[in-house]
Amino acid sequence: MFGYNGIIKKWEVIFCERVLLANNYPIQCSCGASIIVEVDSQCSHLQVYCAKCRTLLFSKTNSNEANEKINKAEVSPQDKALPAEKVQKFAEYTVLKQLGAGSTGRVYLAIDDITHEKVAIKILRKHNDSRSIDYFIRETQVLMNLEHENIVTLKKWGNYQGFPFFTMEYIEGYTLSKFLKKGSVSIKHAARIIVSVLDALEYAHQFRIVHRDIKPGNIILAKSRVIKVLDFGVGKILEDGGGLTETGQMIGTGFYMPPEQFQDAKRVDLTADIYATGATLYHALAGIPPFGEHHRNMTGLLKSKIGNDYISLAERSPHLSPEIIQIVEKAMAHEKSKRYQSAQEMREILFPFSEMKKSL
């Protein structure tokens, strides 16, 4: 095979007999796919097909004999590209499927066309405001520096056709949200998961970064048995006047966010993550989120949040010990000053439950 930049797949090039010094050929298909091929100027037989729609993009021959070989050539069934409807391009990524969606954007499984590795790419809502994009880039640069065992690593960021995006390491496993569809979990199991979440938050909070959307859907139970927190990409850097969030805007997920976040996500502090973590622990222990009785009734949810009116964990799951219920209630305190004031404080109280020999 001749030299290439990693974008052309093996089935896209047929008949190249030898390789010498290469020239660069930028090629764009009418379907929108864009590639750059390094082609040896002395290569006698060459055809390049679009991996997306199978259109012949480039043909190079140096003899009539070569032309005859190319005309007779056939692509084997196993070399056929995926159907166009199953493959989409976004910047330098081949998008395979959607993994999830939220209030700020969608997450997809994709292949990095340069490194060939699987990544999760989050594409935010389109922002035409260059100021917002500038703030997004600045915040993402900071977030990319987070290196912790329990935090999904951000890899790249950018803006493609007006859509801000960032890519993350792809973790094989499943979300806590999916796991909880089967019902509640034991105190020990729930505590182990939340302790890992608190480890991640304690680290991020050292950099004055608030996650703002801790919930079961943003916690991954990896096949390696490591707990990973994702979506720090919508986090907020405290003491930073900028950001994608406008004053008065709500970011987060209703069941888990603290009441103050409903009013202004831009002004939340570290205790907002404590509340959301407590609400996630509630969900894990009860099998239903706090305020879950409101389901999709946002008006009712908002009123209950403001009035701190919800079915307590003790009422939902009376079999639980008073000690674990107290931890949840303190974390979810309506007034910020009554919550745990740090992830470390909550972790120290919860940790013994993750080590107990028998679930209560």
Is-catalytic flag, 112? no
Q: What is the DSSP letter of 227?
A: E
Q: Is 208 left (phi over 0), alpha (psi -120 to 50) or beta?
A: left
Question: Do residues 253 and 236 lie in contact, with contact meaning Cβ atoms separated by under 8 Å?
Answer: no
153-156, Cβ contacts within 8 angstroms, sequence gap of 24 or more = 154/232, 154/233, 155/119
Alpha-carbon distance of 39 to 190, in angstroms, equals: 56
Strand order across the 227-229 sheet:
173-175, 219-222, 227-229
| 112, 113, 199, 213: the active-site residue | 213
Taking CA atoms, 127 is separated from 124, 144, 260, in Å, by 8, 21, 26
**Amino acid making up residue 175:** T
CA 355 to chain centre: 30
Query: Within the chain, how many helices (H) and strands (E) appear?
Result: 10, 16
C-alpha 55/C-alpha 74 separation (Å) is 14
With beta carbons less than 8 A apart as the criterion, state whether 316 and 288 touch: yes
Sign of CA dihedral 37, 35, 96, 81: negative
Distance between alpha carbon 166 and the CA centroid of its chain, in Å? 9
Helices 187-206 & 343-355, crossing angle to 10 degrees? Answer: 150
179 SS3 class = helix
Q: What is the DSSP letter of 80?
A: P
Closest by Cα among 100, 327, 153, 139 to 237: 139
Residue 17: how many other CB atoms lie within 10 Å = 14
Residue numbers annotated as active site:
213
